[in-house]
Structure 1
Amino acid sequence: MDIDYTVAALMFPAIPLMMTMYSNRYHTLSALIRKLHDQYTFDKRTPPEWENQLHVLNNRTNLLKFTMGFAAFGFLFNMSTVLMLYLGSLHVARLIFAGCCICMIISIFLFLQEIRLSNKALKYHLSDMDSMKRDL
């Protein structure tokens, strides 16, 4: 298969959109962590149900860090593909573009894992609300 600029150009709209989506998730997660931190410093105690949530939040921040890192490497590899095509190194461009695709696939799988953890955190909230409803 021949690779040219149009193949590398296919990734250009996808990568920034993915990184924007990841950044929005990271921003929302950091706002939640700051809110929990403020609540903890105000109350000076940690409710027992927070233990699981804090563990999930820590895992989510780590997953998002790696998700955004792999997406950034995918973007870097995509730009390197264009450079190698410009320099006429077709074989090297193919290898680098394969690296770009692999990085983006890993990034998507990590993002799916983060969504799973996010869903798990929401289930903790729902179980808290359910137990409060039963106590009334």
Structure 2
Amino acid sequence: MELTLGTPSLLFPAVSLLLLAYTNRFLALASLIRDLQAQYASTHRRNLLAQIDNLKRRVRLIQTMQATGAGSLLLCVGSMFLLFGGLPEAARWLFGASLVFMMLSLALSVREIWISVTALNIQLAEMESDQ
């Protein structure tokens, strides 16, 4: 397979959109954590601590997702520099590594979604038991 400058550049829009989505998730979680912290300060309900702990895990996952997504973009740019410098074999390896980082970022995203859905199901079950 021949790798041209156009091939790594195909990842730029995808990685940019992923990083934007991850940032939006992070901002939503940060707002939710602040709200829960304020609720806990006034009520000291134990279930709020469990929710905050769950959100902290998700924030760490999002941080790792962002880092691996940015790493994918950096490796992609490095691959383009190597192609420009006339080192196609090294560029191919670097591009392959950028794809691995992208896959890792997506896998972490799936894990974060899984944790989020589990937390929502617990919240819904708590609401149903209150009725």
Q: What percent identity do the matched residue pairs reach?
A: 29
Kindly tell me the number of residue pairs found equivalent between the two proteins. 131
Flag structure 1 segments of 5+ consecutive residues without an equivalent: none
Taking a change above 3 Å as real, the CA distance of residues 40 and 52 of structure 1, as seen in their structure-2 partners, is closer
Quickly say closer, same or farther: Cα 1:36–1:51, change in 2 above 3 A. Answer: closer
Structure 1 contact 53–124 (Cα < 8 Å) conserved? no
TM-score of the aligned structures, taking structure 1 as reference length: 0.91
List runs of 5+ in structure 2 lacking aligned partners: none
Shift in Å at residue 5 of structure 1?
1.1
Q: 1:63 aligned to 2:74?
A: no
Report Cα offsets for 1:2-37 as digits up to 9, x if no partner: 100121111011000000000000010111001111
For residues 1-136 of structure 1, what are the structure 2 equivalents within 5 Å? 1-41=1-41, 43=42, 45=44, 47-133=45-131
Measured on the aligned residues, the alpha-carbon RMSD in Å equals 1.1
Structure 1 Cα separation of the partners of residues 87 and 76 of structure 2: 14
